[in-house]
Structure formats: C-alpha cells, structure tokens
A and B are shown apart, each in its own frame.
Chain A
Amino acid sequence: MSKPFIPKVVTANALLEGDVVYLTADDQWSRQLADAEVIEDLAHGDLRLLDGSSQPDVVVGVYLIDVALEDGIPQPTHFREEFRTRGPSNYNHGKQAELF
C-alpha cells in the first residue's frame, strides 16, 4: 500500500522583493500561507509546481512544501518553513512585523 499523500503548497520567493510567497488557487502569489492552494494529490502537485515555475518574471526558486491542515488552514510541518511564514525568530522584524 502506498503512503498517504501529505498535503502540499507551492512556495517561492518574489523576484523583486525576495519575500516568501505561496501560490493561490487562482494563480496569484500571496505573502500569507493561509491564502495558499492546498494540494491533495501528487499529479496535481506536479502540475501546480509547473504552473508556479512558469512565472519566472514574478518568482524565484519554486518548490513544494508539506503542510498539515489545522481547521482547514495549512500549517508548515517543518520548522524551516515555519520560519519562512513569519521571518527571523531572533526578534520581531520581517514578515511577522509587517503582515500580522
């Protein structure tokens, strides 16, 4: 039996600002993980990764991250991606100070 698919989100950095961004269902890039399209199967993940990668004039370094759904909202499962959602942990600056 194959392993259950871990839900995923397409992420990247914005070309102009470098900000961490997430691909939404309507092909926009959001600064907030909560806005991201949650991908529930492998084939769709491959497709959305290609969709994200086909916007090289908007984003850099497109890849898929694992997420867990909490009340329907995606949360990163790895600590690296947790930091990417909010910025550096040494003190309050970066995304956490600007978005939340």
Chain B
Amino acid sequence: MYQYNDFDRDFLAERNAQFRAQVERRIDGSLTEDEFKPLRLMNGLYLQLHAYMLRVAIPYGTLNGGQMDVLANIADKWDKGYGHFTTRQNIQYNWPKLKDVPDMLDALGEVGMHAIQTSGNTIRNVTADHFAGAAKDEVADPRPTAELLRQWSTDHPEFQFLPRKFKLAVTGSANDRAVIKAHDIGIRLLTRDGEEGYEIIVGGGLGRTPMIGKVLRDFLPKADLLPYCEAIVSVYNLLGRRDNKYKARIKITVHENGIETIRDLVEDRFALLKPQFGGVDQKMLKDIEAQFALPEFKNGSVAAFKDAYHSDPVFRSWADTNLTAHKNDDYSIVSISIKKHGQTPGDATSAQMREMAAIAREFAHNELRISHEQNVILPHVHKSHLPAIHARLKSVDLTTANIGKISDIIACPGMDYCALATARSIPVAQQIATRFDELKLEHEIGDLKIKISGCINACGHHHVGHIGILGLDRAGVENYQITLGGDHTETAAVGERAGPGFAYDEIVPAIERLIGAYLQNREDENERFIDAYRRLGLAPFKAALYPEVKADAA
C-alpha cells in the first residue's frame, strides 16, 4: 500500500489547518454561508436533509486495518457509531456536527486519509477494481496508476473549478469491475506486443443523460498517462459547458463535439504538455509501484478449508457465494457482504469495522478494500484461514451469503438522507432483500444486479443494473421507474425503460412479478436474468410487470 511521505503529510496538515480556521470563521460569523459553502464542499462536507454529511475518500478502495479502525473510531466519537460505504469507494458519515469536522479530518490525517475533492467541480476520488492486485484475471495491478492519478489530481491548480465534477476509474483486468465505461475517464491497463500501456475511454457517465464511454486511444504508452489525462481534462476545462449544469459533464462535451474533434484537440494539447512532464511522473510511478508489491504469500495446507467446506453447509454456502478466485491458487478473495437482508446497503457499525480490521491484520496481510457495490473485500486470504474468518465474521453478523445475488443491491442514500433525492431508495432495497429471503428464492434466481437510485443523478447506478430502479417525485408521491438490461461491465449498456412507474407500495410486488417471469422463461438455471433478457427482449418481462394492460388488450 502507498505510505504517505513528508510532502503528503505536510500538505494535509496545512490544508486541515486552513479548513479549521474557515470553520471557526463561519461559526463566529466572519464568513457567510455563501462564502463558506464552496470551502466546505472542497473538503467533503455537505449539508444534507437532516444533518451535515462528511464524505471521506478511500482512494481506489484500498485501506489497511489501522485506517479501518480510525474510520470506526470517528463513527463512535463524532457520529452515530456507523459509516456508509458508497458506490465511489468513499465512506460517508451522516451525522457530524460542524464544529467537530476539523477534528475528524485531523484524525483521518493521522492515518493518511482525507475528504479533499470528494465534492465540488473537481477530479473526485480515483476508483479502481476492488479485486486489484488479487484477481486471477488481472493483467496488472491498477492501483499504482490510480495512486499516481490521485497525486496528480489532488489540489491540481488548473482543475479546481472545472465545468462540473470529474470522475476517473482504473481497471487492470479485461473483466471490468470498476464500471470504467460510466466514468468521465475510464482507464484499462493492458499490454500490446510486450509493451505496457492503457486503453483510454472518455465521456461515459450515468445521471440525467446516461452515456457509455467511447475509446479515445486504444493504446496509450504507459509513460504518456499523466500528460494525456492532463490534456483531456484541460480540453474539457475550456470546451465544457458552463452555461447549463445539466450539459456540463464531459459526456455532453464529447457528444456535442464528436469523439474525433475531442481526440484531435487532446492530441494537440498532449503534444504541448508531454515535454513538460520530463519523466518525473514516471520516476514517481516507479516509487509508487514498489509500495504496491504483493504481500509474501504463505505456503501451507488448505485442508482446513476443504474439511469445513465438506462438513459445514452454512460455511459452504458462504464460500460458494462470497469467494472469488485469487491469482494464487491457495488463496481466495473474500467479499464481506454489507447487505444483510433488511439492513441498509453499505452501512457498517463501528464494531463491524473493527472486527474486519482485526481479521485483516490477523489473517489477510492487513489489507481491505471497499467495492463500488458497497461491500468490503479481504483481497488476500490463505484458504486455511477461511473457516476462522467465517466464524469471526459471524460474531458481528457479517456472513450474509448473497454476493452478486438479488439482495446484493446497490442503493444510494436516497431521501432518507440526501438533500437532492426525489424518493427513497434504501427501504426499497431492504424490502426486496427481505421479500426474496422469505421466499427462499435468492440462490434459485442466481446472479442478478439490482441497482436503485433515489433521483436522476444515478448515484445508485440504476442505468447499468440488470434491473434498475429510479425513484422519482410524481406530483408529490414517490414513484419508481424500472429499467431492464443494463450492464456495468466491459459489455456496458444502459437499461431500457420498461414502462410507467410504480408507487412505493407497488414496486416490490412488481419486482416479484418480474422475477417470476424470468424463472418461468429461462432456458435453465445457468441462464442468468440478464442473459434471458437479452435472448427474449422486453416483451415477456413487460407483460409480467403490467398484467392489467395485457388483460385490457385481450
């Protein structure tokens, strides 16, 4: 993992001291809210529906046990004893008091964390594949690249007032788990003829106008990354629209100007910028890469795992659902579900955080990851430790075996917390999870991605859910639109709207009818919902969602 150096520490301490003074001046009345708001947003502090909210970046989703402990301590000391993991690998505290926020930031600074650029029209937290460094299918670890981008983009003087927010995601695998095609810039590590480089995708995004990113460069040599990204963002900074907030993201800039025009402008700018970098960035990257060396993998018998797998059906069910192949055959990647049926997706208590931190230290090379799907990952676990880890997780209620299933739902905070929301999303997720758990259908249904947003801004990624749910305010009443066929992976696609929306108390029965139609129409149990949808199209699902329309037509 990357360790802060003196430069990083000094920068953060100075920045936190600045913000502490700004908070003091706001409280004593020297700053108006209009003056203070942009300052607090630059430091990740929002004012939400019921309280302030502090959004803390977990760069590329990577943290160690000590950092997780501090996240837990902050939750206890200055919040309500829990934190909420988000779809962009951040953690949000929903109840901080204004005067406490500088202390919270100092506590974060002690372990090399911060809330800078988690809001505002800046380059946001750089996200990455949550299996980075561990996945069997990986070409290279995307995190050194993500850390280089983090250092480059943090407090970048040219990019503090972009036309709109700007999000980067990096993956090192052809199987995209970082949703790179729905980011302003998506980056995929690859090799071509033995040379390391990147595929650069630009102009993806969800929100009001969902767009799948387009390839700007199919192969960018490794050494050109920073000047090329700087070229993209500076072209956008000039060309992006500032007249209309809804047309200000780079996806609209690319759409309106065309990818060829953008490419030409970026290449021209890149030619100017490249000589200015002079190789210092590549030297930094080398230093960063050394810090992301793989842990020393342990050799040893995995018999304990095999024994437990054969003798304990509860453990077996969890292992079948929550483990992923590791690049070392004696190891597993463990996904800890933060989606117990009926609970708030992504909410972890301080006790749960501490236990995950302790497990990481004792059994998992002191590494943890936060996924964009709002779960926690132990990326490197020798299989012999799995039964012990399962038992430890059980003690804090974290053994839900539902990764990738119908109850592993992404849900944005929605109107339970968010000031922008038009409807609730968390209770819909809670009810769907509870309902299908009662029906004991979860494992029968198999792999399925339900993603729920409580407004058009799509923090819950509903456009790319196999089943997407969007909560809206229709004449003062919550109303939920369903989209089908979305895909968040390398074959990214925006879902198709199924028809008119459903009232709050109709949405769960509608999902149940939809799943009924899938179970009835699938070829066999190996055909996932999304595959059945692609084969059959909208018609049978629409008929299930709107039976009264069918009855009327008959």
Chain A interface residues toward B at CB < 8 A: 13, 15-20, 56-57, 60-61, 77-80, 83-84, 87-91, 93-95
Contacts and interface: CB of A to CB of B under 8 A. Distances in A.
A90 B47 contact: no
Given A16-B97, A90-B427, A95-B50, A83 B416 contact: yes
Contacts of B478: 79
A94 B82 CA distance: 13
A18 B427 contact: no
Main secondary structure of the interface of A (DSSP, over half): loop
Contact of B51 (A17, A57, A79, A89): A17
B47 A61 contact: yes
A84 B476 contact: no
Interface stretch (B26-34, B130-138, B220-228): B26-34
14 contacts: A18-B47, A56-B29, A57-B29, A77-B476, A79-B415, A80-B49, A83-B49, A83-B424, A84-B50, A88-B416, A88-B417, A89-B424, A89-B426, A89-B427
Contacts of A78: 476
B99 A20 contact: no
Closest 6 pairs between A and B when the two form their complex, measured CB to CB: A88-B416, A18-B51, A18-B52, A90-B426, A57-B29, A90-B344
Given A84-B49, A88-B426, A89-B416, 12 more contacts: A16-B99, A17-B51, A17-B98, A18-B97, A60-B33, A61-B47, A83-B50, A83-B424, A90-B427, A91-B344, A93-B80, A95-B50
Contacts of A79: 415, 473, 476-478
Q: Which of A16, A88, A94 counts the most B-chain CB atoms under 10 A from its CB? A: A88
Nearest to A58: B29
A88 to B, nearest CB: 4
B148 to A, nearest CB: 36
A94 B476 contact: no
Contacts of B344: 90-91
Contacts of B424: 83, 89
B146 to A, nearest CB: 32
B95 interface: yes
B238 to A, nearest CB: 33
B384 interface: no
A74 B95 CA distance: 26
Contact of B50 (A60, A87, A90, A91): A87
B68 to A, nearest CB: 22
A63 B209 CA distance: 30
B77 to A, nearest CB: 16
Contacts of A20: 49-50
A90 to B, nearest CB: 4
Given A61-B47, A80-B415, A15 B98 contact: yes
B430 interface: yes
A67 to B, nearest CB: 14
Contacts of B96: 18
